[in-house]
Structure 1
Amino acid sequence: MSEAFTIIGTPRFGGILVVSDHASNRVPDDIDLGIEPDLLNQHIAVDIGVAEVGALMAEWPGIAAFQGGVSRLVCDFNRDEHLPTVVPVASDGHAIPGNALDHAAHEARLARFFRPYHDALGALLGDAPQALILSLHSFTPQLASSEEARPWHVGVLYNEDDRAARIAIPLLEAEGLCVGDQLPYSGKLLNATMNRHAEAEGRPYLGIEVRQDLIAHEAGQAEWAERLARIANQVAVEIS
């Protein structure tokens, strides 16, 4: 057991691993972020719906889920370790005063959460190589700091390795969805976990961003879990 991550199901050789860096809004009792409690239920603190979708996907044969165990405001696992945003002092216009840490406290936060998370993920993928890694996130329909709406139902993100993306995009479009190719943002900019554990190792991966209002309720979570499990299996077969 670790406070940095949770594994749901049993990762198997040649299976599919659903990785959700921002699955939790948990803040340990000994950490005070200095924010209003209701912010922990918003997108700045957690990728709404992904924990539930990942857990449902892990009920499928051959699929397991690896999920972050603390809020992205405590430690953002999908950032490069050397960047200050790994412990954010602000997010979407909200200050996080409890994260104004000195060097020693910042280093302690990394040692407690960031490194155990990535060490465990790296070890898992080394011990049980996967046919496909599915990086699962959700995005808000509209940022508080922007007036621009985000109409896409789902986005597909990647950096240099677009093997899985090229297969998945038409499959998602065939479901009647509005699919963003490198939208609502680019995987060339926001892909730290997959850069480290997939691209750097030549492992096939698929970066998925689901619009959070579509998976903020049980019916949507079940619908998307079924859809993504089915499509991920098809991608894994075609990419092998």
Structure 2
Amino acid sequence: MGSKNSYPSQIDAVEIFNAAGQNAAVLVCEHASNYIPAELNNLGLEEDLLESHIAWDPGALAVARVLVEDLDVPLVASRVSRLVYDCNRPPEAKDAAPSKSEVFNIPGNRDLTEEDRSWREENVYNPFKNALSQVIENKMTSGQKPVIFTIHSFTPVYKGNKREVEIGIIHDRDHSVADLIMAEESEFVVRRNEPYAPTDGVAHTLRLHGDENGLANVMIEIRNDLIKDSAGVAKVAAYLGDVFKKVLEKQKTEQGL
């Protein structure tokens, strides 16, 4: 069966910031962009939905870029909307190219063929995965064991329910970094495995690039009303920068560096 969509001949799917960053961490932003190739006709969605959380994580890239400068570490970010392919999902996941997000149907993702899914995997997911693997390998080859920090944002209201949590510290099997962050005092409402947990299918990057490399890892979820402007971005990034530095200092001590 052929594709139900037309696709560009090539796509710039991933961007690496500060590849030569010196410190022992790698930042990841899987949902950094709401870009959808013109050939996909916005997946049948109106412009307002493409600006909303269903298409990307508003503010996440802005926070991550501040942290890049503060920590002097590399950042790997997707340049394609999560609706085309969610780079925090494996190819076999049904929501890797969701036909519904929250309460919204995604017409352009309905009844995708194997050819459609293959194009998205090969042109969006694989370049992102490979770039992140290479950045991590470069760190490990240089003798570092980088901590993997993934940066996300979430909507204040989900399916009609208001979320009280402001910053979520999400972990799967490795909880070492989460434990350190949770032990720090904060002016924010910080909670463990909220508003998402590994059972929601959000731990793919942590498992593949963290656990499988024997690296400490954690996902950070930021309520996006806190980072809707530059002042909010700066405030949240300052908090995260402080706690991330403590995590990295502890890791140095444990490794005898």
Offset at 1:30?
A: 1.8
Q: Of residues 179, 184, 191 in structure 2, which corresponds to 1:180?
A: 191
Q: Of residues 109, 122, 125 in structure 2, which corresponds to 1:114?
A: 125
User: Closer, same or farther in 2 for the Cα pair 1:61/1:161, shift >3 Å?
Assistant: closer
Identity, % of aligned positions: 29
State whether structure 2 residue 62 is matched by structure 1 residue 49: no
SS at match of 1:207: strand
The amino acid that maps onto 2:176 is: R
State whether structure 2 residue 138 is matched by structure 1 residue 127: yes
- Residues 156-210 of structure 1: CA deviation (Å, up to 9, x unaligned): 0010100000001122xx1222111111121343211111100111111121101
The amino acid that maps onto 1:141 is: P
- Residues 103-159 of structure 1: CA deviation (Å, up to 9, x unaligned): 11111111110111101111110112353211110111111x2x3211011000010
Q: 1:141·1:150 contact (CA, 8 Å) conserved in 2?
A: yes
Q: 2:88·2:205 contact (CA, 8 Å) conserved in 1?
A: yes
Divergent runs of 4+, >4 A: none
Q: 2:71·2:245 contact (CA, 8 Å) conserved in 1?
A: no
**Which residue does 1:89 correspond to in 2?**
99
SS at match of 2:153: strand
The 5-angstrom pairing of residues 1-240 of structure 1 reads 3-12=12-21, 14-32=23-41, 33-100=43-110, 101-129=112-140, 130-143=145-158, 145=159, 147-171=160-184, 174-189=185-200, 190-240=202-252
SS at match of 1:30: helix
- Residues 205-240 of structure 1: CA deviation (Å, up to 9, x unaligned): 121101110011110111112221221111111134
The amino acid that maps onto 1:29 is: A
User: Closer, same or farther in 2 for the Cα pair 1:78/1:61, shift >3 Å?
Assistant: closer
Q: Which structure has the greater CA radius of gyration?
A: 2
Unaligned runs of 5+ in 2: 1-10, 253-257
User: Closer, same or farther in 2 for the Cα pair 1:198/1:11, shift >3 Å?
Assistant: farther
Q: 1:11·1:128 contact (CA, 8 Å) conserved in 2?
A: no
Q: 1:22·1:68 contact (CA, 8 Å) conserved in 2?
A: yes
Unaligned runs of 5+ in 1: none
* CA RMSD after TM alignment: 1.7
Q: Structure 1 length as normaliser, TM-score?
A: 0.93
Larger helix fraction of residues: 2
**Which residue does 2:8 correspond to in 1?**
none
Separation in structure 2 between the aligned mates of residue 204 and residue 7 of structure 1, nearest angstrom: 21
Separation in structure 1 between the aligned mates of residue 16 and residue 244 of structure 2, nearest angstrom: 19
The amino acid that maps onto 1:55 is: R
